[in-house]
Amino acid sequence: MYKIALINGDGTGPEVVSEAVKVLKTLDQKYKLNFQFTVLDYTATRHLRTGEILSDEELEGMKQFDAILLGAIGDPRVKPGVLEKGILLKIRFGLDQYINLRPVKLYENVETPIKNKRPKDIDYVVVRENSGGLYTGSGGVSMKGTEHEVAVQNMIYTWHQVERCVRYAFEYTRTRKAKGYPGKLTLCGKSNVLTYVFDIWERAMKTVGQEFPDITTDYVHVDAMCIYMIECPERFDVIVTENLFGDIITDLAAVTQGGLGISPGANINPKGVSMFEPIGGTAPDFTGKNEINPMACIGAAHLMLAYLGEEKVAQNLENAMKDVIKEMHSMAAGKMGFSTTEIGDKVVRAIG
């Protein structure tokens, strides 16, 4: 049995989670997975109604689940940062989901803005560190409102954080290699400027790398990364990087694989509770229109199945997704040629 928490969220979140759950229920029937779903109302909507965000007790309660599927959280009426820090980041940090895994894969028939690139050229994974860096909230402000106002936000990394992330990335690269990928891990950093932080990353790559002689390694500065991801994405197999760099380059990467409508991500604690989400937001303009692309959330469900060790089921789902994606006119909301619910129904049928 798998206990799955659903945070449907706000905006189009509930619409995409609903399609992902439809698909998961179909797979449950076929493979007898015995999913038990629990909806958790940790949303902007609840916040606006009751003032609550996410309490420590609620966070603690999330530890009982095998996995969490999240739609999207946010509302234009809530000040930026409140829900991001209060819900999304609180879960990532509180459950120590120290890896943010973002596969970048161009599927057949999906339009990429990069001329002349085919699915075989865009097929890599970004391992984004998800617990440290500029996201720790370390820093502060003084003399606010005066011309001497000082603001500090620190990029903080411990050896421990970097080592476990790099180790995960090496292990992940090895698993991919067993499936026929090149077995290459690229560190994305900025060692020419952020000399303290990336010295840790480079040494961790060397130290941990000694245990992985079967994996080749490479280094690319984050600015050059933005060139290579467009000019020669075929150069990458697995990329490992720090938190904010990973945030930024995975939005760029998402565009190259067809946009946020098709891009999933996984927040992973290898020994704890992990959370799976489409990386796009709440898309308020599309709320309630049955026009949003649920494929990113269905893709998040696919990542969840793989994470739960249900490889065969995950493969069945990915094949079904590929079949449906081939029929879609576009990955953009409102331009898919089908409604949100029709896409979910099509995936259900394609599962067989």
Q: Which residues lie near Mn ion (CB under 5 A)?
A: 247
In angstroms, what is the minimal distance from the CB of 279 to ligand IPM? 6
> Can you tell me the distance from the alpha carbon of 242 to that of 255, in angstroms, rounded to the nearest whole number?
20
Q: Smaller CB distance to ligand IPM: residue 225 or 347?
A: 225
129 binds ligand IPM (CB under 6 A): no
Q: Where are the alpha helices (DSSP H) in the chain?
A: 13-31, 44-50, 56-61, 82-83, 89-94, 159-178, 195-209, 222-231, 243-256, 295-307, 311-327, 340-351
In angstroms, what is the minimal distance from the CB of 249 to Mn ion? 10
Q: Smaller CB distance to ligand IPM: residue 237 or 247?
A: 247
- Minimal CA–CA distance to 127: which of 242, 27, 36? 242
Characterize the bridge pairing of strands 150-153 and 123-129: unpaired
10 binds ligand IPM (CB under 6 A): no
**DSSP conformational letter for 315:** H
Q: Smaller CB distance to Mn ion: residue 234 or 251?
A: 251
185 binds ligand IPM (CB under 6 A): no
242 binds ligand IPM (CB under 6 A): no
Q: Smaller CB distance to ligand IPM: residue 84 or 342?
A: 84
In angstroms, what is the minimal distance from the CB of 72 to Mn ion? 12
In angstroms, what is the minimal distance from the CB of 211 to Mn ion? 31
Characterize the bridge pairing of strands 35-39 and 2-9: parallel
Output the furthest CA–CA distance in the chain (Å, rounded).
Answer: 65
* Bridge partners of residue 2, in order along the sequence: 35
75 binds ligand IPM (CB under 6 A): no
> Can you tell me the distance from the alpha carbon of 182 to that of 12, in angstroms, rounded to the nearest whole number?
37
Q: Smaller CB distance to ligand IPM: residue 33 or 89?
A: 89
Q: Smaller CB distance to Mn ion: residue 19 or 247?
A: 247
84 binds ligand IPM (CB under 6 A): yes
- Minimal CA–CA distance to 43: which of 91, 8, 92? 8
Please tell me the count of residues contacting ligand IPM according to CB under 6 A: 5
In angstroms, what is the minimal distance from the CB of 89 to ligand IPM? 6
CB atoms within 10 A of CB 168: 19
Stretch that binds ligand IPM, among 8-16, 84-92, 298-306, 318-326 (CB under 6 A): 84-92
* Angle at CA of residue 14, ends 248 and 350, nearest 5°: 90
297 binds ligand IPM (CB under 6 A): no
In angstroms, what is the minimal distance from the CB of 147 to ligand IPM? 30
Query: How many Cα neighbours within 13 Å face the side chain of 348?
Result: 18
CA distance readout (Å), 200 to 40, 79, 190? 38, 35, 12
In angstroms, what is the minimal distance from the CB of 332 to ligand IPM? 19
Would you put residue 50 in left (φ > 0), alpha (ψ -120 to 50) or beta?
A: alpha
Q: Report yes or no: 170 and 211 within 8 Å, Cβ to Cβ.
A: yes
Q: Which of 10, 247, 291, 318 binds ligand IPM (CB under 6 A)?
A: 247
Q: Smaller CB distance to ligand IPM: residue 84 or 218?
A: 84
Which residues are near ligand IPM by CB under 6 A? 84, 88-89, 247, 279
